[in-house]
Amino acid sequence: NAESGKQWYQRRVRAGMQDFNFKDLETITEYQNGYHAEHPVIKLFWEMFHEMDLNTKKRFLIFLTGSDRIPIHGIHSIKIIIQKVKDNTRLPVAHTCFNVLDLPPYPNKEIMKEKLLTAILNTEGFGLV
């Protein structure tokens, strides 16, 4: 019994899309305040991100967007921005309404990982019930 297009759409809206490629997240991200795709801090960020397990990546999505689900139209319908902030003693900050990550220029991957994991593992999203 084939699922109708309407049934598929309704199921996706209720559940959110969960089958996505996290590499796509990297390709759609934009950068501000001196960061760019080839910036050393951004390269460290994506290297560290892609090493995370699936659960931690979903927690990052909650931290950044308020949800661990991808919109019905796919990850390419999200606009994500990573912007440089000066104080590298602070934790990264996410502005969930705008999908903006304030990422300080941490001097190495270990410090970045510690700060980012502290931030993302101590947050709650806006999950729908």
User: Catalytic positions, please?
Assistant: 97
Host H or E run for residue 81: strand 80-84
Collect all residues with Cβ–Cβ distance below 8 Å to 6 and sequence separation of at least 6: none
122 vs 129: CA distance, rounded Å: 21
Residue 62: count of CB within 10 angstroms of its CB: 19
